[in-house]
Amino acid sequence: MATSATHPPLAAQVEQLLETGHPLPIVAAGDPVLRRGTEPYDGQLDDALLDRFVAALRETMRAAPGVGLAAPQVGVALRIAVVEDPAPGSPEVLEVRGRVPLPFRVLVNPRYEPEGEARAAFFEGCLSVPGWQAVVARPARVRLRAVDERGRAVDEVLTGWPARIVQHETDHLDGTLYLDTAHTRSLATNEAVAERWSQPTPEEAARELGFELP
């Protein structure tokens, strides 16, 4: 989908980033690049450079490991993200959370809209906020519009965990971290979540930590 019109500063930034080797360093909360929002993708990278950048995002996401990674998380303010979720876990947890495998895909200039009023709340983490999780209530069903790395239109409705992943990564492109909308009383270390709050839903955590679920 790249065009012949290029913007040297962004292309040069990506070239320089890719020279650092893979996986790429992930930017942590506190860096302004995570708060500034992003520039819509409009061919700033040629096809070859875009392919290399997407491959680096994919490798970095998998190495972390994570289920999504947005360009600002590696310091690039472009409206591009990658997502992928093999959906590991027990059948009970997967069913309650609506977590199904999400094949690897590239989202270029994504946006989403809630479909219906239903909301779902679960613990959520972020590669840019390592070591912590918090409960976030999000629309349970969203309509995603984007294009892929080849400019093919994406227009589909997502539910469950795929909807959550897409919302989380698209929010990154708007300068929003999950903590901005999380129940702050639910904030817990990864170790605390594993030891205390690994139930299929966060209902027990809500009772014990004192926050409300939708």
Annotated binding site for Fe cation: 126, 168, 172
Burial of 178 (C-beta count, 10 Å sphere; 0-12/13-18/19+): buried
Whose CA is closest to 172, among 31, 61, 37, 50? 37
Whose CA is closest to 118, among 139, 137, 99? 139
Question: Phi first, then psi: what are they for 6, rounded to 5°?
Answer: -120, 160
Site of tokens 């019109």: 5
In terms of phi and psi (left: phi > 0; alpha: psi -120 to 50; beta: otherwise), the region of 67 is alpha
- Residues that constitute the known binding site: 126, 168, 172
Residue 167 CA to residue 94 CA, distance in Å, equals 19
- Out of 113, 124, 169, 204, the active site residue is 169
Tokens of 35: 């708060």
Residue 130 CA to residue 43 CA, distance in Å, equals 32
- 169 in catalytic set: yes
Terminal C-alpha separation, the chain: 41
H or E segment and range at residue 165:
helix 160-173
What residues are annotated to the active site?
169
